Amino acid sequence: MLHVDAAEYDRLGRAFARLPMEMRAKAFGRTMRRMNSMVRTRVVKRSSQRIKLAQKHIREVYTMLNTGSDTLEHVVRSGWVPLIKMGARQNTKGVSVRGRGTIAGGFIATMASGHEGAFKRKTSRRTPIQELFGPNPASDIGNHPDVFADVLAEVGNIHLAPRLLHETLRLLPK
């Protein structure tokens, strides 16, 4: 069990302030890159649990842009996950996806460009057609920010100080 009190943080802060500016910047930059990676992993996992979709599908469409080297503020962008990537299968009633049901009138086709997808006609005529998609992970994050704020708080509260100490010790001469 790890026990840390405020006096230890104060001592660590004063020692960190005495380091050269280049060393502090490098240690903090490395720490924030690692925090960014940890947040991404945890957000993908939480999103996967919420929208009931494999993590690999979320990771493929998920882009997290760090807004600076000294912050953990993120802009999350993701696309809609195509049903074909979720394992869509054609049956007599339409297109079915395990655990999500059947879309009546849907079909699986390969376009002339080689793109394979699950589609549905917009009208009773042959064209136009539209591709069918599953959930959008960024939409889930935007609609439920409180759930994902816990992830950010957990990473910041538990892992930030030990990681900064680790990166600082790596830079100090032996």
Q: Is the peptide bond before 128 cis (omega within 30 degrees of 0)?
A: yes
The span from the CA of 64 to the CA of 101, in Å, is 30
pLDDT tens column, 24-63: 888 888 888 888 888 889 988 998 898 888 898 888 877 7
**What's the whole-model pTM score?**
0.71
Question: Could you tell me which of 29, 26, 138 has the C-alpha nearest to residue 74?
Answer: 138
The conformation of residue 131, written as its DSSP 8-state character, comes to E
Contacts of residue 39, Cβ cutoff 8 Å, sequence gap at least 6:
64, 72, 74, 151, 152, 155
The span from the CA of 74 to the CA of 68, in Å, is 9
Indicate the pLDDT class of residue 168, thresholds 50, 70 and 90. Answer: confident
Strand partners, 110: 116
